[in-house]
Structure 1
Amino acid sequence: MLSRVADNLYWLGRYLARAENTARLVGVHSHLLLDLPRGVSLGWSPLIAMLGADGGYLSRYQDYSEANVVHFLITDRDNPSSIASSIAYAREILRTIRDGMPRDAWEQLNALHLFMQEEGEAHLPRAQRQAGLTKVVDGILLLHGLLGANMSHDVGYHFLQLGLHLEQADMTTRILDVRTVDLIQWKTGDELRPFQHIQWMSVLRSLMAYQSYRRYEKSRVSGPAALRFLLQNREFPRSAMYCLNKISACIAKLPANRATERPLQRIRALIQDANFERLLENGLHEWLDEIQIGIGQIHDALAKRYFQFDGVESSEALQSQTVAA
């Protein structure tokens, strides 16, 4: 497989996961604000922090109003992490490689792109927002189904899965990082203590994990239990450990890459050995930062091994460079 194609498939998976997770975040946050008591407002800035986009946001907007944040995250094409941008990037990738991809997948992604172009702005107000976000999430889930059912599960599919699961692991840790900082600050207000479980529920719902969590834990939502489920569970598809195990399984089917295996093994060991009761009291933010740095190291190792070259080869050689299947 051409390295260019492998790179495209990897980023196709990442963009699809990014668009889906961003849509879920905006939808769940809108509902969370309705569940909190009067006088308590989390604002909209945490959503920008989750995506690490504060610099780009503040360069164009003066405040973190609901209208500005929602526009920035859903339809702003100048924001590379917005839903519209992620879908547009994914569509462009699929357009360039569609000869080797299921035709139904192209038609579905193109329809989703056209929806965002033509009707995205109309679904920004709160009354219409949930319908638009649901269409995005359902459309991407349908696309995953089309790719999984109709695409050959060969080396290209493994690169697609690498991107999807690496992006999901990154988004899971980002959501936990920002939400948990808010929860820790709540401990200083005794009047807010009874409502802490509401925000933990929003964390689970952001990842469509609430029902699965209740099946496993069979108890009221709590911080340590939610962290254990979203980070250590080996069976829930959006938990960090599940995603890392899937990445390991995909790498095992590709040409050897020791540089990727090392940070992957280190992160899995950190998650497996974590004491979340102790980390919630002190050090969880720094611990999650270390996990996110490790995820970045995995991406760098994958890019260097499969998608980039050291400049020794000629441009013609670069164009013909292949990844062995």
Structure 2
Amino acid sequence: MLSRVADNLYWFSRYVRRAENTARLVGVGSQLQLDLPRSVDFAWRPLIDTVGVGDVFAELFPEAGRNVGDAEVMRFLLLDRRNPSSLGSSIDAAREILRGIRDSLPQDVWEAVNDLHIYIDGDGERSIGRRYRIDFLNRITDGCLKVSALLSSNVSRDIGFQFLRLGTALEQADMTTRIVDAGASGLVTPRNEEDRETFRNMQWMAVLRSLAAYQMFRRQMRQRVTGELALRFLLQNAEFPRSVQFCLTRAQRVLPSMPTRPEVERRMNRVMGLVRNADPVALVQGNPTTLMDEIQMHLGGLHEAIAEGYFNG
């Protein structure tokens, strides 16, 4: 397979999964906003910083400050093409890649991605408000899952499919840490200190729900939601498909079907060790965002090794 085609397949799967999880990330805040009483202060700005585009937002909107409203954040995260990580930008990028590799993937995949593109352009602006936002996010999530299902069901298990799997696994691992990061970033500020623990657990419940993990959490953990248990489940659970460890294990299992690249294997082992050795109890008592940032940096290093080993030769 040409390295250009492998690169495109890898990035196509990453952009589709990024779009899905951007919708899920916004869903964390939207669901919390609906559940919380009006007396509780809710901050939207941490969602932007969680995605890693705080500098872009500050440059585009220098007067916004920290107390930016939900409409501005929604537009920036969902529709603004000046934001390279926005939902619209991700679908546009996936669609553009697909134009060049349409012979490598089923026609149904093109139609599904094109439907998402048309829907975002047609209904995105009215979905910024609270009334239609949840329906819009659910429609995007379902559309991205449809693309993933078409890839899983209708693509031959050749080397190209392995690059699709690799991109999907790494992007999901990265976005899971970012959604966890959002839940630990102080979205909610209670007026009374005695309410802090209650609202913190509500945040973790919203994180689990946004990752479609709440029912599986209850089924496996059989306890009420706490920060420690939610972190343990989303970071280290070996059976839930969106946990970081599950995604990294899936990516690691792809590597034997590809040409050997020692640097990729070394980077993979390093980030897996970081996740496996994490202590959820200490994380909850300290600052979970520090570990999430570290995992994201290691995933970035793993991506660079993959690009150098397979795409830049």
Instruction: Kindly state the Cα deviation for residue 183 of structure 1 after the two structures are TM-superposed.
Output: 8.1
RMSD across aligned positions (CA): 1.9
Instruction: Kindly state the Cα deviation for residue 235 of structure 1 after the two structures are TM-superposed.
Output: 1.2
Give 3-state SS (helix, strand or coil) of 2:240's partner. Answer: coil
Q: How many residues are paired up?
A: 309
Larger Rg belongs to: 1
Q: Which ranges in structure 2 are unaligned for 5 or more consecutive residues?
A: none
Instruction: Kindly state the Cα deviation for residue 81 of structure 1 after the two structures are TM-superposed.
Output: 0.8
State the percentage of identical aligned residues.
Answer: 47
1:164 is matched with which residue? 168
Which amino acid counterpart does residue 41 of structure 1 have in structure 2? D
Instruction: Kindly state the Cα deviation for residue 66 of structure 1 after the two structures are TM-superposed.
Output: 1.0
The verdict on how the C-alpha distance between 1:55 and 1:161 changes in structure 2, with shifts beyond 3 A counting, is: same
**CA deviation vs aligned residue, 1:235-286 (integer Å, no higher than 9, x gap):** 1111000000011011121000110111211221222222211232235333
Contact 1:183 1:196 in 2 (8 A): no
Residue pairs, 1:1-325, within 5 angstroms: 1-61=1-61, 62-63=63-64, 64-182=68-186, 189-282=193-286, 284-309=288-313
Which amino acid counterpart does residue 241 of structure 2 have in structure 1? P
**CA deviation vs aligned residue, 1:149-202 (integer Å, no higher than 9, x gap):** 11111111111111111111111112222422428987x922322222111101
Contact 1:200 1:226 in 2 (8 A): yes
Query: Whole-Å Cα distance in 2 between the matches of residues 289 and 184 of structure 1?
Result: 20
The verdict on how the C-alpha distance between 1:183 and 1:50 changes in structure 2, with shifts beyond 3 A counting, is: closer
Q: Which ranges in structure 1 are unaligned for 5 or more consecutive residues?
A: 310-325
Report the TM-score when normalising by structure 2: 0.94
Instruction: Kindly state the Cα deviation for residue 34 of structure 1 after the two structures are TM-superposed.
Output: 2.1
**CA deviation vs aligned residue, 1:65-85 (integer Å, no higher than 9, x gap):** 111111111111111111111
Please identify, of 153-162 and 128-137, the stretch whose mean Cα deviation from structure 2 is larger. 128-137
Give 3-state SS (helix, strand or coil) of 1:59's partner. Answer: helix
**CA deviation vs aligned residue, 1:98-145 (integer Å, no higher than 9, x gap):** 012101111111111111122221222211112221111111111111
